[in-house]
Amino acid sequence: MDNCVFSIIKQNKSKGNKSLALLLDPDKVDLKNPQVLLEYLENISPDIVLVGGSLMLSHKLDQLVQLIKLETAFKTVLFPGNTLHLSHLADGILFLSLISGRNPDLLIGQHVHAAPVLKKSNLEVIPTGYMLIDGGKTTTANYISNTLPIPAHKPEIAACTALAGQMLGLHCIYLDGGSGAEKPVPEAMIKMVRHEIEIPLVVGGGIKSVSIAQKAYLAGADMLVVGTQFENGPSEVIEIARLRERFSKTIT
């Protein structure tokens, strides 16, 4: 069986199953006590572990990726804020083009610098149409990217943008309300994007409860990304993981 990272997501999607990605920010995990993190990881059993963030103040990226690689069977995928956020120890990387914005550096500029480095690495490169959606407050990603997020009440802009991303050959679309978003990506927007595209649809930002997760899955998200709620206390994320399992059993 093809065991590459993107295949995990695609195979889940083709079987009608839902996926869950746990996002770990190296600045926010306690690596002095890794056992706690590893136990939570086993409990949640995410389909993939995303590692990254808009900014990184610590230098723990390699250390965190190595820990997951050595101690678990989970695939680690980089979710880089910029070209400096690289770890050759990871399994893959979301090669993000910020298609919701009009900042050329984040549409293609940084990619030009990263491409030859990635070619020499063993990282699986996952071309991703990354779309920032207004989640009710200015997020680090909005500020750092110097772009306007798509207004939450304009699902048609998101749908056309995602469709253009698919036509450009991107492999998946990631709708992100931003880390700690007050409001998650609206169901109406997820539905309209889902209706327009066939490639896997990833949704994240402000998924803090089982009920929010359920609505996003039902609206058509193939994979949810949860970060802040894990940092706030993993019990709800364990429930979201159970929901994913129940959901998948129900609809297959």
Between the alpha carbon of residue 53 and those of residues 56, 72, 78, the distances in Å are 7, 21, 9
Q: What is the 3-state secondary structure (H, E, C) of 20-55?
A: EEEEECCCCCCCCCHHHHHHHHHHHCCCEEEEECCC
Nearer to ligand 1GP, 71 or 182 (CB): 182
Residue nearest to ligand 1GP as judged by C-beta position: 204
Cβ closest to ligand 1GP, residue 89 vs residue 240:
240
What is the smallest separation between the CB atom of 196 and ligand 1GP, expressed in angstroms?
21
Nearer to ligand 1GP, 122 or 232 (CB): 232
Scan residues 208-237 and list those touching ligand 1GP (CB under 6 A). 225-229
Nearer to ligand 1GP, 34 or 81 (CB): 81
Q: What token pair was written down for 42?
A: 């086993």
Rank residues 55 and 251 by Cβ distance to ligand 1GP and give the closer one. 55
Tell me the chain's radius of gyration from C-alpha atoms.
17
Backbone angles phi and psi of 51, in degrees to 5: -130, 125
Q: Please, which residue, 67 or 216, has the CB nearer to ligand 1GP?
A: 216
Is residue 19 near ligand 1GP by the rule CB under 6 A?
no
What track of x and - describes contact with ligand 1GP for positions 174 through 213 (by CB under 6 A)? --x-xxxx----------------------xxxx------
CB of 81 to ligand 1GP, least distance (A): 10
What gap in Å lies between CA 214 and CA 211, rounded to an integer? Answer: 5
Distance CA 166, CA 173 (A): 8
- Contact 193/173 with Cβ under 8 angstroms? yes
Cβ(244)–Cβ(217) below 8 Å: yes
Instruction: Record the tokens describing residue 237, joined without a space.
Output: 């994320």
Cβ of residue 225: shortest distance to ligand 1GP, in angstroms? 4
Q: Given the rule CB under 6 A, which residues bind ligand 1GP? A: 23, 176, 178-181, 204-207, 225-229
